Amino acid sequence: MNLLGPLQVSVNENRVPVTAGRLCALLAVLAMSPGRTVTVDHLATALWADEDPPGNIRRSVQTYVARLRNALGAWAIGTEPTGYVLHADPEDIDILQFARLVAESAAPNAVVERARLAKALDLWRGMPFEGVPCASLKASEVPWLLESYLTALERRIDLDISVGRHDGLVVELSRLTARHPLRESLWARLLITLEKSGRRADALARYEAIRSRIATELGTDPDPVLQQIHADLLVR
């Protein structure tokens, strides 16, 4: 099951369309805890967070679970006294696979570490839970997922910089800083890559752009790392 981007569901390698909003939300919440019981109350909060819940919450959840079983197969979701459990291997859920791969990425060999990080990063197809109407799920899960993704991405970029693999990094980092304009650690890597690519003037211009934006939007100066990179650029 793919949740790092638009929801994609497969059963026995066959794509299963799950398009109804609440069914998508129900499946996503269950998928974050495969093999473990998710209580009816927790499911109800996810399904009706921004609106009045139905009069009989348990029966309404039961109805949606029945519809989901029709789509996935009766075996896919088990019933427990307090809720429901998705019978799935965590490795078949991209978010959980991503988290495991990142946690296990560290290695004494830089080539191995980069390969592990690249495998984890390749799982991302867009923002987590894209198109899944579940505000509570996005509030609890997206921040740590995005931070984990960006941290892993920055580590992979550092490994590329360390071995002089600069081809394509300027373009990649330019896109990333446009997407995350106030993440100074990405700007730091962009300035370093520009300088190592022989584009010192461009690096200085980019520093001025982020310095001005930080001053305007945050009313402060760039962090010490960016300032030091700028100082180093001026004396080279």
Q: Where are the domains of the chain?
A: 1-165, 166-236
Within 13 Å of residue 94, how many CA atoms lie on the same side as its CB? Answer: 23
pLDDT of 100: 96
From the options 1.25.40.10, 3.40.50.720, 3.40.50.970, 1.10.30.50, give the CATH code of 166-236.
1.25.40.10
pLDDT of 26: 96
Domain 1-165 matches domain 166-236 at the CATH topology level: no
Distance CA(210)–CA(226), nearest Å, equals 10
Contacts of 34 (CB under 8 A, 6+ apart): 85, 86, 87, 88, 89, 90, 93, 96
Render pLDDT for 119-153 as a digit per residue (tens, 0 to 9).
999 999 999 999 999 999 999 999 999 999 999 99
pLDDT of 123: 97
pLDDT of 39: 96
pLDDT of 223: 96
Identify whether the C-beta of residue 96 lies closer than 8 Å to the C-beta of residue 103: no
Which residues of the chain fall below pLDDT 70? Answer: none
Phi, psi (degrees; rounded to nearest 5) at 48: -130, 40
Distance CA(33)–CA(236), nearest Å, equals 53
Distance CA(75)–CA(89), nearest Å, equals 13
pLDDT of 233: 95
Query: What's the DSSP call for residue 36?
Result: S
Q: CA of 155: how far to CAs of 105, 114, 126, 148, 149, in Å?
A: 10, 8, 19, 11, 10
pLDDT of 92: 95
Class of domain 1-165: mainly alpha
Identify whether the C-beta of residue 60 lies closer than 8 Å to the C-beta of residue 45: no
pLDDT of 87: 96
Q: Which of 130, 131, 153, 128 is nearest to 142 (CA)?
A: 128
Q: Which of 32, 53, 28 is nearest to 41 (CA)?
A: 53
Q: Which of 130, 146, 141, 28 is nearest to 88 (CA)?
A: 28
pTM: 0.91
Distance CA(36)–CA(90), nearest Å, equals 11
